[in-house]
Amino acid sequence: MKSILKTQLVNKFFHDPNEFHVLKDISIEVDKGELVTLVGKSGCGKSTLLYILSTMDRDYKGDLYLDNELMTHKSIDELAAIRNEKIGFVFQFHYLLQEFSCLKNVMIPALRLGKLSPQEIEAKAYERLKTLGLADQALKNASKLSGGQQQRVAIARALINDPLIIMGDEPTGNLDSKNTAIVFEIFKDLAHNAGQTIIAVTHDEDFAQKSDRIIEMKDGMII
């Protein structure tokens, strides 16, 4: 299988207020088309690890590879460009721009990437919304949608640049069980039928059990 994401002996320390070894020798590998969940008790280091995997935190020891390219030591600007092109994000709170239409929200990362014309981006954003069953909501302001619908818009937005990997920190953390199940089915379909690689932090046991692989952490280590 093609390796999309890999860490070798990642260690991280926080220094404030006290010296704290938060991640210890983290070596993981995620392949193309895998739906992986990252689980563990609150405070074990999941978000800290995801922040490193997403290239947003550069302050760690060890190596991080994305698409077989070493990310460690790259500059902030280089990483921002790589991130915009290769990683889609879905958070617990969707962070949609509430006063913008769903369509516009989905278009924004592609407009920022600047590889397609605005017309092409609009057509693509519409397609993504359609895939997620939201075609009829495209022109509504995000604020008019339910929480579950908004999270699907956030997934459409994460998909707009055809990312190598989607990363989610508690992507269903704010959803009821029905909408959690819908989001899970979307992720599973993307992974198994479109080869989309997905890594999601979750505390939802059912969601994790149904994923392809569970990476479990305890006290900053993989167990």
Ligand X SMILES: Nc1ncnc2c1ncn2[C@@H]1O[C@H](COP(=O)(O)OP(=O)(O)O)[C@@H](O)[C@H]1O
Which is nearer to ligand X, 43 or 133 (by Cβ)? 43
What dihedral angle (degrees, nearest 10) is formed by the CA atoms of 145, 146, 152, 155? 80
Q: Which of residues 36-95 bind Mg ion (CB under 5 A)?
A: 46-47
Nearest to 32 by CA among 9, 8, 4, 59: 4
Q: Is 150 in the site for ligand X (CB under 6 A)?
A: no
Cα pseudo-dihedral 4, 154, 72, 23, rounded to 10? -90
Q: Which of the listed partners (ligand X, Mg ion, none) does 13 bind, with a CB threshold of 5 to 8 Å by partner kind?
A: none
- Closer to Mg ion by CB, 47 or 131: give it: 47
Residue 181 interacts, among ligand X, Mg ion, none and using kind-specific CB cut-offs from 5 to 8 Å, with none
Instruction: Indicate the residue type of 52.
Output: I
Interface pattern 18-47 for Mg ion (x via CB under 5 A)? ----------------------------xx
The SS3 of residue 116 is coil
8-67 residues near ligand X, rule: CB under 6 A: 14, 16, 20, 22, 40, 42-48
Q: Is 119 exposed, middle or buried (0-12, 13-18, 19+ CB in 10 A)?
A: exposed
Footprint of Mg ion (CB under 5 A): 46-47
